[in-house]
Structure 1
């Protein structure tokens, strides 16, 4: 019976250790991508996290947690913008050039666009 509970306790400690490692690596990543910290402050935080890891991580999260979240959110937003821009550039138009010219001709006939705009759309479709 003690072997089972020993196993459960070991699994709990392993889980806690892995969670702490994720937090620690997230803090290291944040320290190195922060443009506001100079090199000496980065070195000081790293030394603090190496020699007193639990206390250092708690202090870092309390002192710089909000900035850490803001940097993460801005990085995610920038990555999303870049991905959307890439998808738009790769996707292009699903229509063939003749279909694009035909739809532009319909717009010209209905009066929705001018002749000049029609010529631009036609040149774009043929390019």
Structure 2
């Protein structure tokens, strides 16, 4: 029983702190690397050769490649990210309007027409209720 190994005593608190710090910095580096590569491919002003060159530079010499990319083209990364987000939002808005407009607007228009017919006296209340039920169930 006296041969128990206490790992907590062999790994000091400062060592645990530095390990967590290195893991944090490594994850931060990976995120930055993917952001740079994503920005290279998102930029429409770059030609295919330029995209290939930047990608190879970032992959072959990652630290130097990322820092040179951030120095050379980093000022516009935020603008390109905003343009991409704006384009996605507009696409979603158009799709939502198309989807919602094809069903809800049609029902609303039909109900408005039925209400006008009833107000003009062309259909009775019973006919209005029956037609309204048909529109709402379809």
**TM-score, normalising length from structure 2?**
0.64
Q: Specify the alignment match of 1:75 in structure 2.
A: 84
1:58 aligns with 2:67: yes
Structure 1: how far apart are the matches of 2:51 and 2:79?
Answer: 18
Q: Specify the alignment match of 2:18 in structure 1.
A: 9
In structure 1, stretches of 5+ residues that fail to align are 110-124
2:96 aligned to which of 68, 87, 94: 87
Instruction: Give per-residue Cα distances to partners, 1:24-73, cap 9 Å, x unaligned.
Output: 10111111222222233222222221232222212211211233222211
Q: Specify the alignment match of 2:40 in structure 1.
A: 31
How many residue pairs are counted as aligned between the two chains?
Answer: 108
Structure 2: how far apart are the matches of 1:69 and 1:96?
Answer: 42
Larger Rg: 2
> How large is the RMSD of aligned CA atoms in angstroms?
2.7
Structure 2: how far apart are the matches of 1:83 and 1:41?
Answer: 31
Q: Specify the alignment match of 1:118 in structure 2.
A: none
Structure 2: how far apart are the matches of 1:58 and 1:21?
Answer: 13
Q: Specify the alignment match of 1:113 in structure 2.
A: none
Q: Specify the alignment match of 2:126 in structure 1.
A: none
